[in-house]
Amino acid sequence: MPVDNLSDLIEKITRQLQYFQSLGVEDLNIPRKRERIAPVSQKEELLSQLQQEVSRCQKCPLYLNRKTPVFGEGDINARLMFIGEAPGYWEDMQGRPFVGQAGKLLTDIIKAIGLSREEVYIGNIVKCRPPKNRDPKPEEMESCQYYLHQQIAIIRPDIICALGTFSAQRLLDSNLPISKLRGKFWDYQGIKLMATFHPAFLLRNPYKKRDVWEDMKKIKACLEQGSQ
Ligand code: URA
Ligand code: SF4
């Protein structure tokens, strides 16, 4: 059979395997759709190219004060991707997302749904630390959004969890407050998106943890449903 490219071939083989499976053939490990989008090595290559672009980026003034750009980290095949706001002091020092106090809480939230940091992907709306941890400006988010969009397009998670107002509003192109955006699934370019409160906000308002737990339970249920 003529094939145009690798993904066509994989598509055809998968259909053949599904046919065998429908005939009762057992022990066939059919690759999940997500894994067929881009082979792992290609994903790795694309992400590392993007990371290099970010490390040289001067598209907005935040590059002037950054020590280390924070690209993001985690499983490049993750089904769940968390997107925060911007690196803070510790993230800028280490070049890793969510490693300060808010990061510890995020790590606990991830564990609470039975996952580890290594099993998800964690990124931010802007890659460089705003001075004195001020809010990122609209034009800085605008300049940086190309990188995040590429990251999401390469990783193609099943679910995105937007952490806090900036992340949720930016990804959903909305002005609604996070209290209105959280708690239900939205669509972000064909990917389910759940918004919830930012862990730094939870540190100041611990009584809101209950709401975040409700949101996390929905994410967990959706992940479990999707893997059946
Ligand atoms: N807050 C964020 O939004 N992102 C980080 O990486 C750390 C703290
Ligand atoms: Fe470039 Fe984004 Fe850093 Fe601005 S915040 S310099 S757009 S990587």
**What spacing in Å lies between the alpha carbon of 106 and ligand 1's midpoint?**
10
Is 36 a member of any domain? no
Is 76 a member of any domain? yes
Q: Which ligand is nearest to the CA of 136?
A: 2
Give the distance from CA 213 to its chain's centroid.
18
Which residues form ligand 1's pocket by a CB distance below 6 Å? 70, 84-88, 91, 97-98, 102-103, 124, 200
**What spacing in Å lies between the alpha carbon of 100 and ligand 2's midpoint?**
21
The domain total for the chain is 1
Is 44 a member of any domain? no
Is 171 a member of any domain? yes
134: CATH:
3.40.470.10
Tens digit of pLDDT at every position of the chain (228 positions): 444 555 555 565 555 555 445 555 555 444 444 545 667 789 999 999 999 999 999 999 999 999 999 999 999 999 999 999 999 999 999 999 999 999 999 999 999 999 999 999 999 999 999 999 999 999 999 999 999 999 999 999 999 999 999 999 999 999 999 999 999 999 999 999 999 999 999 999 999 999 999 999 999 999 999 876
Our answer on whether the CB atom of 59 is closer than 6 Å to any ligand 2 atom is yes
Is 23 a member of any domain? no
Q: What is the pTM for the complete model shown?
A: 0.84
User: Count H helices, E strands: the chain?
Assistant: 10, 6
Is 49 a member of any domain? no
> In which domain, by residue range, is 192 found?
62-226
3 state DSSP class of 22: helix
Ligand 2 atom with minimal separation from the 63 CA: 6
Is 185 a member of any domain? yes
Is 56 a member of any domain? no
User: How many other CB atoms are there within 10 angstroms of residue 28's CB atom?
Assistant: 10
